[in-house]
Structure 1
């Protein structure tokens, strides 16, 4: 076949093959005695023009004769020569040919020279190709193997021989499975067969593998393959290029693992979830098993202890080995590492520890012998322990084991584990700080708002509280149920401008003030007036230099609804300061919003508040709420009130279920504003539990009061309280007669959770407790009342005052 033209892009055949090259024979004197057809094609001389002529006379330019003679001398000396010489074409142009010259001795001992020539460009290309082929097998850093159609190995280069740790002679005629082990052998062979069958090359395909000579280390190779074909003889086999990319693959995998860790660790501010995310990311790409242990104070959301050797809490465990490492400690266990363990050293020295090969035992020591034995039975062979440190504080440690895979941990793995730990520690510390702040907020909330409302004789109650800021758990809205004298109860709902801790602190001060004012038995409108003064003082405290408002807005503002319900009269007295009116639901489910005097918001100062009175049937439902409930998610106020009415119009059910119905109807998502809801279902004290008399203002009133008290308590089965109660009633009635201004005296006894005694008169002068001197003849009455009762006090009415006492329903003194 003719040699392919230079520059065609294909590898040419041997240019010195007989069917491709020009050949000539010279005798000992340099005369041409043989001339081939190819010589005529290349140089243009027919045989009859060159035979018998001296080659120097027509083939070479005189300027090149010295070069030709030097080549001839070298051929004579070395019995052969090859190189490039310029020759003259018949047309006179110079042509560079590559020559191979060999001396030939004829049978008659005469010496001749056999010359073979080809275009110099083809010869150089062919020599280059031979050099490339030699380089692939001798000097290339990339492994090369040539396989027959049955995938037996025909030849490998030196690089692949070093990789397989077998010589080129040892591996010839063998198969891939003779030096590789595991399921990867079948994968590699199936891919090579696909190349043989389809002719589609395999390009840079990464493949894990293990050598029979070193089964403990997994390697990753990049494989490319192409099919070898002959123009006439068909498929010759397949050639495979193999490069060890283990280090590159591991570096890329570590980088991907770090990126994944950055995306997956710290998605929440939950301490447990953050530690679980850390454990999940590290298994199985880096380790076969992972545990995350935090110092006990850190696990509780507190500051880390100074002693790092203290107990730890196991926060997360992850493993791909069946039940491996789970035999040690479970999530939530609190324990202390034995001082001999790497974990204890890591905590004490606050530095990472790499144990590529665990000696004699996996490195765990337990005080429990059974647990120790189970741990020793595990096939763990390599360990990394890294401290979790953030902002200079030691939080805990991360432990990683390898048990299922044979490769031990390396320094690069330790570096990756430290990166994991550094990123995770910041997230853990953020979660710890959030936990600390959240617990502080919950503590504040528990201190500012009632948690468990006790049972009351006047009402059944239920509540709903949702702060706008779920991170802190507190806000400016509040509610309260305050027991008052005479079996009455105060129902309060308020709203402070703003959200978060600042609003909560202001709310706490107002709630405390409401409790104090309620204890003084002020009427609802008077309570709001005093609260208005308090809000003005709070605004003055926050007043910036030069004024008490910023941007024309009040710095401190609040609204409030205050209601007092009396179960003896079924009357409810209400007053509101810029607050929405309550919803009243009758026993048949009818909902109404009573028309109450609105009153200005707290803090405007100087404007009056008015009270209104409602008479509520037994079983009526009173709903007090803040605007965040009915204006959530952009609801129009009328629409919100309508939805509230629909949710409340289901009489008779448990109040907790009614709260849930209101929440579902108005708050499907977390509210953008603080929400407080207080539901109260009214009760009525039975008439037989109340006794009331009007006594004339005369000296005999005290005796009459004692007689009525004794008879009533006997009828109620409280004879054991008769003596002390008679003394109390006698003293209070006597004081009313002396200082009441001659108005009739009203005595009322109420049998509730305690025995209530009330004496009312038309005077507004309040009695005062004082300690009488030994020489005084009087002044000991109220002191005696205080000693004989559990509580006592005075409340003012429009017509005078009422002095009341409460005594427990059992015999005995209260002091």
Structure 2
């Protein structure tokens, strides 16, 4: 007998014994079990195989039992045996003795007991599928699930589960069969055809079944109901994501959108976030005269719903009513409350098929609402402070677009995106005497209200110094002294509070004279201005940047150039050219390319916005300022100049020449005033300064009269007494002109006066 023909009792030894008790047949399995070949055993009494003849003699009379047998190469082997009597054709008596290791029998009995008890468990599901995923055995009839057939044998999952759930389960079981890789702790939703509600969540583990010869039997799946654990994990995950996401933005709208994104699909299929209107302006939500609050549907998530419409005023009590849930349809809502009162409300919905919300769901929503309310209130407070800072910053800056005789300017200012708010960047366009213009750009290190306030002080100082008509390098020296004093005056308390230190400030100051066509510039630690030629070529002025303001003790240098007519001068702050992924040189090179490509011959404001939009980086850490100035030279025919000696008789000749020039310009109505102004200024220059005296008229948006002399003594206007014979000249000039003043020059001083030129009437 060949044991290999018994696949389910592999390893069973067999011996054939005749009627006299002698062994007449011996199998290969017997040889392997006892290490005795057939020649050593056949023909000998079976009694000789007993390890202890006396003790094991009674085994010869039993049909089954356990006995110890001798082995050929070691200690006795304990086996379990069974005797099968055989009847021969001629009446001879024989017996077939089957034996296997007692340990193997014990293991087989354990396996049988384990399998039997496993199928009797009522807390652990067990299912055995064949290779076609048809059920062979299962204990699901012991589990409290509805919609299952009484006898599951021969069924497939699709016969009693929802199609989607059945496909997902069969897909993972098929993967186990095909690859042999066991499945560990996969969670699957399970809903029956008879009960398509929320269903349950099963944790499934599966492994492939193979016969001893390696042939495929099927797959076994173990599953358990983890619905409550799954829901607990979902709620905890939603709360964790809400804590991490809500509050990351200091925008009211951004906070509401983050909140809606967490609620869907975490707690429902649709979410609505309603915020009081006052929150968007940073104000406290206060009820109106009718006790209602104006609210805005700020964010939604999920498919459109019937409530996708602007909300009107709703009662304060309704907005702040406690969290509640309804079953039909399944809905939950909770207020966004702070100590100051209600800020809004959040609502979530889900389809009726998913069942009503549980008490635990409402608790999670209430906790999320409490945390979201703090985030919304923080965003409201930031909005209020940011608006105040931006308002202060805007009020301290000039108009975005200006037109002066020497230039047409357009500017772009973009506050930083960081939570610290606006910073200390500024620009200015300052009209100077004789049709000149000063262009300024500066930057105070830091952000917030203090940086804006420091910027305002520096801008005021620049305007005051510019009114003195100083050279650019001289102006920066005075400004540097002022900043040094501000640093000394700053208290230790201010430094501890983070007040912006004015020593961390830079400035570039440029003056353009449209009559001579000369542009002068000096820098205190600031990037150099860019000059865009009419043909699109871009160059940076060769300014040697001095130290930042407040360092003191080091000089500043002025550079001069003569830009062609129609050129554009660009002043900017480092926020435009520096970024996270680029250094200063790369930023300047990129700015030069953008200035050349944008085409500054048209709308300067549109070009500036386009350049800032392309140059600014996401999440910029500094303000961005760009000032573009198209330079307009005064044509030679719009100026007239004369040089006279220090002779009082020359005053009459000046008056005559000026009269002829004004009539040629069509400004005959200004002849009388101009003659009087020139008479007084030239006479004073000849009397007190000597010669030579230079006289110049400039026609632009105003008529400017200039008288230059070699004296460095500034004139002083005073009111003459009745007995005085002089002293009324400058007083008359001040009364007859729009404004007047004097400035130092390299060879003396210049006194100037401006008269308005009325625009011609439009027919």
Structures share fold, TM-score greater than 0.5:
yes
Tell me the equivalent position of 1:691: 640
Shift of 1:712: 4.1
Contact 2:251 2:379 in 1 (8 A): yes
Shift of 1:250: 1.7
**In structure 2, what is the Cα distance between the partners aligned to 1:487 and 1:647?**
30
Larger Rg: 1
Q: What SS is found at the alignment partner of 1:335?
A: coil
CA contact 1:271–1:431 (8 Å) conserved in 2:
yes
Q: Say if 1:219 and 1:244, in contact at 8 Å, map to a contact too.
A: yes
The answer to which of 742-751 and 799-808 deviates more is: 742-751
Residue among 256, 259, 271 paired with 1:275: 256
Contact 2:740 2:751 in 1 (8 A): no
* Partner residue, 1:314: 297
How far the C-alpha of 1:293 sits from its partner, in A, is 1.5
2:513 matches 1:566: yes
Residue 459 of structure 1: aligned partner: 407
Correspondence list, 1:596-745, <5 A: 602-603=549-550, 614-619=561-566, 654=601, 680-693=629-642, 711-719=660-668, 721-722=669-670, 726-727=672-673, 729-731=675-677, 733-734=679-680, 736-737=682-683, 741=687, 743=690
Structure 2 match to 1:353: 324
Residue of structure 1 equivalent to 2:44? none
Matches within 5 A, 1:76-87: none
CA deviations over 1:432-458 (Å, ceiling 9, x no partner): 455444444433432344451312332
8 Å CA contact retained: 1:466, 1:671:
no
Question: Matched residues in 2 for 1:259 and 1:789: separation?
Answer: 73
Post-superposition CA distance 1:554-598 (Å, at most 9, x none): 982655443322111223344555667666676678887777787
**2:256 corresponds to 1:284:** no
Quote the offset at 1:530 in angstroms.
2.6
Higher mean displacement: 569-578 or 623-632: 623-632
Equivalences for 1:406-485 in 2 at 5 Å? Answer: 406-450=354-398, 452-461=400-409, 470-472=418-420, 474-475=422-423, 478-485=426-433
Aligned to 1:519: 467
TM-score by length of 1: 0.62
Q: Tell me which of 697, 700, 715 is aligned to 1:752.
A: 700
Q: How many angstroms does 1:312 deviate by?
A: 1.6
When residues 751 and 212 of structure 1 are mapped into structure 2, their CA distance, relative to the original with a 3 A threshold, is same
SS of equivalent residue, structure 2 residue 465? helix
SS in 2 for 1:455: strand
Match of 1:491 in 2: 439
Cα pair distance change 1:766/1:216, threshold 3 Å: same
Change (3 A) 1:783 1:404: farther
Residues 574 and 611, structure 1, Cα contact 8 Å, conserved in 2: yes
Closer, same or farther: CA 681–311 of 1 in aligned 2, 3 Å? closer
Q: Is the 8 A contact 2:445 2:451 kept in 1?
A: yes
Secondary structure at the aligned position of 2:404 is classed as coil
User: Do the aligned residues in 2 keep the contact of 1:286 with 1:413 (CA within 8 Å)?
Assistant: yes
Cα deviation for residue 541 of structure 1 reads 0.6
- In structure 2, stretches of 5+ residues that fail to align are 1-7, 10-55, 63-104, 496-500
Which residue number in structure 2 is paired with residue 164 of structure 1? 146
Determine helix, strand or coil for the equivalent of 1:316: strand
Aligned position for 1:63: none
1:484 positional shift: 0.9
In 2: Cα distance, 1:177 partner to 1:639 partner: 64
Alpha-carbon distance in 1 for matches of 2:542, 2:533: 16
TM-score (norm. length: structure 2)? 0.65
2:276 counterpart (290, 295, 314): 295
> What is the distance in 1 between the residues matched to 2:550 and 2:133?
96
Matched with 1:58 is none
Contact 2:425 2:443 (C-alpha < 8 Å) held by counterparts: yes
1:512-566 C-alpha deviation (Å, 9 max, x unpaired): 1111122233343442343233122112212659xx9xxxxx9826554433221
The SS at the match of 2:301 is strand
Aligned Cα root-mean-square deviation (Å): 6.0
Gaps in structure 1 of 5+ consecutive residues: 1-7, 10-40, 48-121, 358-380, 549-553
Report if aligned partners of 1:195, 1:238 keep a CA contact under 8 Å in 2. no
The structure-2 alpha-carbon separation of the partners of 1:675 and 1:399, relative to structure 1 and needing over 3 Å to count, comes to closer
Query: Which whole-Å CA distance do the structure 2 matches of 1:219 and 1:286 have between them?
Result: 17
Relative distance call for 1:736 and 1:607 in structure 2 (3 A) is farther
Distance 2:451 2:618 in 1: 22
How far apart in 2 are the matches of 1:757 and 1:174?
111
Q: Whole-Å Cα distance in 2 between the matches of residues 733 and 487 of structure 1? A: 22
Aligned equivalent of 2:488? 540
Q: Residues 203 and 224 of structure 1 are in contact (CA less than 8 Å); yes or no, is this contact kept in structure 2? A: yes
CA distance in 2, matches of 1:135, 1:559: 81
Provide the secondary structure at the position in 1 that maps to 2:199.
strand
**What's 1:83 paired with?**
none
CA distance in 2, matches of 1:164, 1:560: 80
User: 1:164 is paired with a residue of what secondary structure?
Assistant: coil
Is 1:324 matched up with 2:305? yes
Question: Aligned residue pairs: how many?
Answer: 650
| Residue in structure 2 matched with residue 250 of structure 1 by the alignment | 231
1:581/1:316 CA distance change after superposition, 3 Å: closer
Cα 1:345–1:641 shift into 2, 3 Å: closer
SS in 2 for 1:398: strand
1:685 Cα offset (Å)? 0.9
SS in structure 2 opposite 1:409? coil
* Residues 249-302 of structure 1 deviation map (CA, whole Å, 9 limit, x = unaligned): 222332333444455555544443332232223223421211112222223445
Residue 802 of structure 1: how far off its partner (Å): 0.9
> Partners in 2 of 1:204 and 1:633 — Cα distance?
44
The Cα of 1:425 is off from its aligned counterpart by 3.9
Q: Provide, for residues 656-700 of structure 1, a one-character-per-residue CA deviation record: whole Å limited to 9, x for no partner.
A: 899799989998888887776655554321122223445777888
Distance 1:668 1:142, change over 3 A: closer
CA distance in 1, matches of 2:133, 2:567: 94
Shift of 1:328: 2.7
Question: How far is the alpha carbon of 1:399 from its aligned partner?
Answer: 0.8
Whether contact under 8 Å (2:523, 2:544) holds in the other structure is yes
Question: What is the rounded CA distance, in whole Å, between the counterparts of 2:356 and 2:753 in structure 1?
Answer: 83
Q: Distance in 1 between matches of 2:204 and 2:486?
A: 78
CA deviation vs aligned residue, 1:369-417 (integer Å, no higher than 9, x gap): xxxxxxxxxxxx1221112346776432211112363412221221222
SS of the aligned residue for 2:393 comes to: helix
- 1:413–1:698: structure 2 CA closer, same or farther, 3 Å change rule? same
Quote the residue 2:48 is aligned against: none
Q: Is the 8 A contact 2:158 2:167 kept in 1?
A: no
Partner of 1:804: 753
Q: Deviations over 1:474-529 (max 9, x none)?
A: 44554432111211111234455667765554333222111112223334344234
Structure 2: distance between partners of 1:555 and 1:515: 17
- In the alignment, which residue of structure 1 is the partner of 2:77? none
| Contact 1:792–1:806 under 8 Å retained in 2 | no
d(CA) in 2 for partners of 1:617 and 1:427?
A: 55
